[in-house]
Amino acid sequence: MATIDKNEIRSFINRWQGKGDEKSETQKFWLEILRYICGIDEPESLIEFEKRVELEHKSYIDIYIPSTKIIIEQKSIDIDLGKAAKQSDGSLLTPYDQAKRYYDWLPASEKGRWIITCNFKEFWIYDMERPRAKPEVIELENLEREWPKLQILVDSKAATPAEIKELEISVRAGELVHKLYAALQTKYINPNSPEALRSLNIFCVRIVFLLYAEDAGLFNKNAVHDYISSRSNTARNAIIELFKILAQKPEDRDPYIDDDLKTFPYVNGGLFEDAGIEIPNLNEPDDEPVKIILDDMSNGFDWSGINPTIFGSLFESTLNPETRSLNGMHYTSIENIHRVIDPLFFEDLRAQLDAIINLPMNSKRNKELVKFQNKLAGLKFLDPACGSGNFLTETYLSLRHLENKILKELDATGQIKMIFSQDESPVKVSINQFYGIEINDFAVAVAKTALWIAEHQMIRETQDILHDFYSNYLPLKTYANIVEANALKINWRDVIKPSELNYIMGNPPFRGARVMSSEQKTELEKVFEGWANVGNLDYVSCWYKLAADFMKDTNIKAALVSTNSVTQGDAVAVLWKPLLTSEVNINFAWRTFKWSSESADMAHVHVVIIGFSNISSNAKIYDGENIYDAKNINPYLIDAETIFIDARQSPLCDVPEMRSGGKPADGGNFIIKEQDYDEFIAYEPNYKKFNPAPTLTLEELYCI
């Protein structure tokens, strides 16, 4: 595959601007797309034009890409892609209707996820996983910016257009929250006090939820905007009153409140409960925070499309005092989250569902689908360092996508109303299956809010499949499964019983042995009480130890992201020898790779992912793009016998003893006289490239 060249994309746009004939230019157009937009060197080998399909009569698909199973219906530039036209058989069909008819008649093995219609100036991309959703529309003139959305043509694992759009929206949302935060902070009397920062964080979380509710249809259209704008001169009092109303049941409200307040529903969930927060003075004319809320965040932005997995992290990194100093928003990418959860459980679940879907369509298949749905609804997950909840949120979304796939299959049989009783919800997977421990109170609030938003978005996806499905989303159900606590001090059994849990996952904090605070060092020593030589262990080792203790005598499986220090040096024997002798097995591992924070200011951290449990299983090693089956994964993440290299205090052979590496005895600099340096280089000329100027004594040079 060739490298994508932005200059080639611009040239492509200019070549095809304002022209395009279906009969004479379709092949040239799509071959250029594959070459210049998708980076394919030999596009002719990848694409099929005029693929024959048997309808009631012989017909042909304009473009078909076998590797990704994508159907493309091409029209000339003057054709409206949303308008129906008369066909040769007399039927009226839109371009999508034509492509969908081909899709329906294809064998199951040739059906993919995407249908694309195109008229040379627009690409309409339809997701067959969400058949009632509107298509993603890409204009030719915007391809220089939106070209990644067409990578689905050649890569079945590429980010979908919806995912790319969600990322763009979520990053923009983070920028808006940061802008509001900065403007609000100046309004507080003591803007850097812990009380002010806590109030400011809670205020921002509430505002974001209100704006999401306004755009996602939970409130009346523009309800928040119109309410605040009508009271802009007394905005502080108006917002305080609104928060109060949202926390009250309708029967508990003052019957004489203003009519516009009566339209707001009871939200509950603890989100708007009186937390004793300080709301700063926002009653001045043309107050900047109020203008940001009304103009930038309400009128100027649609919050309904944010990705709660990404946005939760962005939100926290923008507002958390510990991360805000990094001068840049950052988040854990969805790709990296799936490096943890896919081999831990999601790959198996997806494969099990695919196997059921491929069964003959009959009542037995329906029973298997419902049985598998109940299995999904019975799984429970714990992230013992959950931060803003991105692992929990993405896992919830992934399970709900599987559940919606089940509901789509059941709906296709026409028997879904017989399968679920009138009073029974077809949705079984719940956010109450997800547990977290997090030390930062603000991160806890963000995590809960992200899960609430994810829950609502998945309800809407279900409604795209089951058109008459209705759910009472509000009031929010109180959600207490994410606990504010220090995971190294709390008993995890107080959060969830081991017998109820299936999976532990997450990305615990990285702190090297030499950079831990004294408090963290004390916590580590307490966790490893009774163990020898724990002084060189990374802080993240504590989570391995506690997870191993928690899963004892259970079938719990765990996967943690950690710095690769836990697989190197004397830390390996210190940490893993006791764990592996207590029946822990390494089930899968990602070898060292760069874990990016997605912030331009942040250094890449080199990490590993280790999946472990008390269960022996078919082990796999992931190394870049390669996946290997392993007979035994040892703690150095090698498919080999488990052998530990213990630290020694004396050399194995007759060599000079290394005292403290490169540390000078007197605390000063190493000095070597020029004549000694010349003598050493004459003896060892290859060393010159490592030490071009004399910095060590002759004795020390020979000892290296």
For the chain, the domains span 6-158, 164-306, 508-647, 654-704
State CA 53 to chain mean position distance.
39
CB 592 within 8 A of CB 564: yes
How far, in Å, are 39, 123, 285, 401, 691 from residue 33 at the CA level?
8, 12, 53, 30, 52
For 521, counting Cβ atoms within 10 Å of its Cβ (0-12 exposed, 13-18 middle, 19+ buried), the class is: middle
**Tokens standing for 596?**
């990016």
C-alpha span between 76 and 25 (Å, rounded): 9
Instruction: Say which residue the tokens 């429970």 belong to.
Output: 380
**Tokens standing for 337?**
């989250």
Amino acid at 355: A
Amino acid at 565: S
C-alpha span between 345 and 337 (Å, rounded): 12
pLDDT of residue 703: 46
- H runs (alpha helix) in 382-512: 390-412, 416-419, 441-465
Residue 368: Cβ within 10 Å count: 17
Q: Please state whether beta strands 122-127 and 136-139 pair in parallel, antiparallel, or not at all (unpaired).
A: antiparallel
Q: 3-class SS at 435?
A: strand
State CA 109 to chain mean position distance.
30
CB 137 within 8 A of CB 143: no
Q: 3-class SS at 700?
A: helix
432 phi and psi, to 5 degrees?
-75, -5
**What is the model's pTM?**
0.81
State CA 250 to chain mean position distance.
37
**Tokens standing for 183?**
């403007």
CA dihedral sign, ordered 30, 33, 38, 43: positive
CATH code assigned to 508-647: 3.40.50.150
C-alpha span between 681 and 690 (Å, rounded): 11
Could you give the angle at the alpha carbon of 286 between the alpha carbons of 284 and 290, nearest 5°?
Answer: 85
C-alpha span between 137 and 68 (Å, rounded): 20
Residue spans of the chain under pLDDT 70 = 1-3, 285, 317-331, 596-604, 658-672, 690-704
Query: Among residues 557, 556, 548, 561, which one has the least CA distance to residue 591?
Result: 561
| Cα pseudo-dihedral 502, 506, 511, 516, rounded to 10 | -50
C-alpha span between 566 and 394 (Å, rounded): 26
**Tokens standing for 364?**
């037995």
Which residues, listed in sequence order, are joined to residue 434 by a DSSP beta bridge? Answer: 381
Helix (H), strand (E) counts: the chain: 23, 17
**Tokens standing for 134?**
């509107």
Question: What count of Cα atoms within 13 Å lies in the side-chain half-sphere of residue 666?
Answer: 4
Residue 662: Cβ within 10 Å count: 9
Query: Among residues 128, 164, 167, which one has the least CA distance to residue 143?
Result: 164
Q: Please state whether beta strands 482-484 and 605-613 pair in parallel, antiparallel, or not at all (unpaired).
A: unpaired
C-alpha span between 606 and 231 (Å, rounded): 52
Q: Which helix (H) or strand (E) holds 237?
A: helix 235-246
Q: What is the DSSP letter of 284?
A: S
**Tokens standing for 570?**
């004397």
CATH code assigned to 6-158: 3.90.1570
pLDDT of residue 598: 46
pLDDT of residue 582: 84
CB 124 within 8 A of CB 8: no
| Cα pseudo-dihedral 383, 389, 394, 396, rounded to 10 | 70
pLDDT of residue 480: 79
Asked if omega into 475 is within 30° of 0 (cis), the reply is: yes
